Structure 1
Amino acid sequence: MLEYAALVILIFVGVVLFYGIIVLHDIPYEIAVHRNHPHQDAIHAAGWVSLFTLHALWPFLWIWAMLYREDRGWGFTAGKAGNSPQAELAQQLAELRQRIEQIEARAQAPQHDEKED
């Protein structure tokens, strides 16, 4: 009876390790899906290839998946003037301040629309 219990435990451990390795190799793909990465399918396919290349590609896939973020893209243009979201917001704020000043100037200007009799 103990031999059968040991066999069941051995098979269970083998199955858990098999699926554990597959889940581990899907981590870069899951990161890519979460970040809405434009190369999700390529990362997923390369993860499967990495299973058969003794996991040599896996660290590079993780880096590839982590490089992209939906809010800032690849992040290479964030340092350039005018391309960052902060620069765009600053421009919109300046335009709104200018519009407010124009509206206040119109409100303070004397109105000559009334006819004098």
Structure 2
Amino acid sequence: MGDPFLNYLALGILFFVAVVLFYGVIAIHDIPYRIAKSRDHPHQDAIHAAGWVSLFTLHVLWPFLWIWAMTYRPERGWGFKAAPTDETERTALAEEVAELRRRVAHLEAQARPVGSPEVRVPTRPEAGAAPELRQDVGAR
């Protein structure tokens, strides 16, 4: 037989490698849960449980868990487009309103020939009453 010290050293190294591999596999399967936890995922408990189930299904579920954990972000939710901040949204809406007002004024100017009487339509007619048109023909 050989040197007993080398036999015990080889057995210790073999045991150490087995323990490291065991904990390494568990740590790798915990990655989707850690991602979900850091992103405040609403299904983080389900992802954690499915990670443990994946250990017993020959790691088939793990890629799907990783994708599931990566699809959610608190600032944008489930979508791919970043959600606008309140200030950005207000600025964009104000620009759209200004553009629409400019277009309406331009169309009104084109629709009314020069020198024609101005037609005014009441904005809120009384209930049941037909709206009346009033022509202002002013003496110029």
Q: TM-score over 0.5 for the alignment?
A: yes
1:64 equivalent to 2:65? Answer: no
* Aligned residue pair count: 90
Structure 1 distance, partners of 2:78, 2:16, is 42
- Equivalent position of 2:87 in the other structure: 89
Normalized per residue, the structure richer in strand is: 2
Runs of 4+ deviating beyond 6 Å? none
Partner AA of 1:73 in structure 2: G
Check if 1:36 corresponds to 2:36: no
Structure 2 counterpart of 1:89, one-letter code: E
Equivalence for 2:30: 26
Larger Rg: 2
5+ long unaligned stretches in structure 2: 99-140
Greater helix fraction, Structure 1 or Structure 2:
1
Find the aligned partners of 1:15 and 1:90 in 2 and give their Cα distance: 53
Partner amino acid, structure 1, of 2:36: A
* Residue of structure 2 equivalent to 1:15: 19
Alpha-carbon separation, structure 1, partners of 2:13 and 2:32 = 30
Aligned partners of 1:91 and 1:59: how far apart in 2?
A: 36
**Aligned counterparts of 1:11 and 1:30: Cα–Cα separation in 2:** 28
Distance change (3 Å), C-alpha of 1:44 and 1:91: closer
- The runs of 5 or more residues in structure 1 that have no matched partner are 99-117
Name the SS of the counterpart of 1:3 in structure 2.
helix
Rounded Cα–Cα distance in structure 2 between residues aligned with 1:28 and 1:71: 19
Shift of 1:26: 0.2
Q: TM-score, normalised by structure 2?
A: 0.59
Q: Once the 2 structures are TM-superposed, how far is the Cα of residue 85 of structure 1 from its aligned partner?
A: 1.2
Query: Deviation string for 1:35-92 (max 9, x for gaps)?
Result: 110000000000000000000000000000000001000016x48xxxx315x43442
Alpha-carbon distance, 1:9 to partner:
0.2
Counterpart amino acid of residue 72 in structure 1: R
TM-score (norm 1): 0.70
